Amino acid sequence: QVQLAESGGGLVQPGGSLRLSCAASGDIVSINDMAWYRQAPGKQREFVAGTLSGGAPRYADSVKGRFTISRDNAKNMVYLQMNSLKPEDTAVYYCYAQVFGGVLAWRDYFGQGTQVTVSS
């Protein structure tokens, strides 16, 4: 089994910054894709940013130029630096990982989520 644990959410004023972290643990042989998704109240979960192992980062248009995704493969961690935050960034942010584990298959995992609220 694999667990993803997010941290770093909170309340921030418009224009402020937050840094989210996600640690993957458990029965992990290799991780391919790591990403962040978010879900605002009344809306579907949407892709925010992602990074394939050894690949270039990719971003949703709504966050390009403001958010930066990075990962530490040695620690099985992924980060999301969020700058110039807007009220419309308010959502629960979920960590995602595509993991090859002891079951000898690729599986998708999501964390429990961390709340980000942008408000004055």
Mean pLDDT, residues 52-66 taken together: 94
pLDDT score recorded for residue 48: 98
Are 9 and 115 a contacting pair, CB within 8 Å? yes
Q: Is 67 a residue whose pLDDT tops 90?
A: yes
Beta pairing partners, 10: 116
Q: Is 52 a residue whose pLDDT tops 90?
A: yes
Are 51 and 78 a contacting pair, CB within 8 Å? yes
pLDDT tens per residue across span 4-44: 999 999 999 999 999 999 999 999 999 999 999 999 999 99
Q: Which residues contact 88 (CB under 8 A, 6 or more apart)?
A: 40, 62, 118
pLDDT score recorded for residue 61: 98
Q: Is 104 a residue whose pLDDT tops 90?
A: no
Element containing residue 118 per DSSP (H, E): strand 114-118
The identity of residue 24, as a single letter, is: A
Tell me the average pLDDT of the chain: 96
Least confident of 20-34, 38-52, 93-107: 93-107
Q: Report how far residue 112's alpha carbon sits from residue 120's, in angstroms, rounded to the nearest whole number.
A: 26
pLDDT score recorded for residue 82: 98
